[in-house]
Structure 1
Amino acid sequence: MSPIDERPDFSTVADLFLLHGSLQSPAFLDGRLCAALALSDLDADAWLESVCLGLGVEQPRDRDSAATLLAWRRHTLEALADSSLDYEPLLPDELYSLAERARGLSEWTQGFLEVLDEMGDAPRQGWSAALTEAVEDLGVVAALETDLDDSAENENDLFALTEHVRMAAMLLYTEQHPGKPQVENVETPTRH
């Protein structure tokens, strides 16, 4: 089978986790992946080891599973480094209830912040005020009330929080990798 050309979606990764006997949310590990790629360029072997540890298995069950997990890492790194600034956290989509999507965002943020905490204060020394503030705001998102009613107001609030998390992740990556991506002359795409 050829390598996966597209980033696996949340449901695909969640199904893969189930095949490995884990009910863990892919959102949590995606938050960890994003922070690790931004801070220390997590290589493919270390990523597979980290995912397997999170799933409670020694290794992926088969080649296709390994290919999906590696594609997840590769596409996340490509999106973070791309000048189009179109990185998206791996979160439940519109097929899930608003409460499930809020829980996914909270879990993603918890994973992201966990890696930052593990790295200690050293990486934070050179951060801009904007990045420091954005990361501090993530603590609120991590503690987000996830028992939300499906309403237009809650939907809009969740969208705004998701966008804040997305921008904080890209800001961390760009500050840790000066010049990658080249964003000075690139217009930010309109989000719908």
Structure 2
Amino acid sequence: MSLINDRLDFSTVADLFLLHDSLQSPAFLDGRLAAALALHDLGAEAWLEEVCLALSVEQPRDPESAEQFLAWRRQALEALSAAGLDYAPLLPDELFSLAEQARGLKEWTQGFLEVLAEVDADKRQAWSDNLKEALADLEVLAGMDAELEESADNENDLFALTEHARMAAMLLYTEQHPGQPRVEQPPQAH
């Protein structure tokens, strides 16, 4: 089954993890993927190595699995670099409880921040104030209590936090790739 033209979702990737005898959530690895694509232009082979390491396997179990892992990387890269700014973290959707969705966002944030922790202080210092502020907010988000009860307020809060994480990932990507995507930049305050 080829999903090259279809958007991979959380459940599809989680099922792929299960095929590799892993019960972990793909959210953490997706956070790592977004940050690595923004910072290092993570290549296909390096991504496959990272996935296999995370799943404690030597290689994907079959060519279809390998292609799906690569499609996941392509999908994230295309969304991060697209002018439509439509990147979305790979997170549990409305089929999951609010607590599971919150846990997924927390895991995504932890994975994203883990890659950023490897960036040297000089490079971080050169980042814009907007980016530094967004990343500081993600540090708080990574430590949040993910045990949300079902309520409209919690659902709205989770949506806002997810949007914040999404915007932080796109901001990191656009700052590391000037001119990609081509979007209007607001004037910088001095």
Deviation of 1:74 (Å): 0.3
Deviation of 1:8 (Å): 1.1
Deviation of 1:129 (Å): 0.2
In the TM superposition, what are the counterparts of 1:4-83 in structure 2 within 5 Å?
4-83=4-83
TM-score by length of 1: 0.93
The aligned residue for residue 190 of structure 1 is none
Distance 1:53 1:29 in 2: 11
Deviation of 1:98 (Å): 0.1
CA contact (8 A) 2:10 2:26 kept: yes
SS at structure 2 position matched to 1:119: coil
The aligned residue for residue 100 of structure 2 is 100
TM-score by length of 2: 0.94
Pairwise CA RMSD: 1.2
- Residue 135 and residue 47 in structure 1: after superposition, are their counterparts in 2 closer, same or farther (change >3 A)? same
Length, aligned pairs only: 185
Distance 2:52 2:121 in 1: 27
- Residue 91 and residue 128 in structure 1: after superposition, are their counterparts in 2 closer, same or farther (change >3 A)? same
The aligned residue for residue 188 of structure 2 is none
The aligned residue for residue 128 of structure 1 is 128
- Residue 147 and residue 2 in structure 1: after superposition, are their counterparts in 2 closer, same or farther (change >3 A)? closer
- Residue 149 and residue 81 in structure 1: after superposition, are their counterparts in 2 closer, same or farther (change >3 A)? same
Deviation of 1:56 (Å): 0.2
Structure 2: tracts of 5 or more residues without a match = 186-190
Distance 2:130 2:54 in 1: 31
Q: Once the two structures are superposed, what CA deviation does each residue of 1:27-75 show, in whole Å capped at 9, x if it has no partner?
A: 0000000000000000000000000000000000001100100000001
CA contact (8 A) 1:102 1:144 kept: no
Deviation of 1:2 (Å): 5.1
SS at structure 1 position matched to 2:91: coil
The answer to whether the aligner puts 1:153 opposite 2:140 as a matched pair is no
CA contact (8 A) 2:2 2:68 kept: no
CA contact (8 A) 2:127 2:175 kept: yes
Structure 1: tracts of 5 or more residues without a match = 186-192
Distance 2:165 2:3 in 1: 29
The aligned residue for residue 184 of structure 1 is 184
Moved more, 122-131 or 53-62: 122-131
The letter of the residue matching 2:129 is A
Deviation of 1:120 (Å): 2.9
The aligned residue for residue 138 of structure 2 is 138
- Residue 122 and residue 25 in structure 1: after superposition, are their counterparts in 2 closer, same or farther (change >3 A)? farther
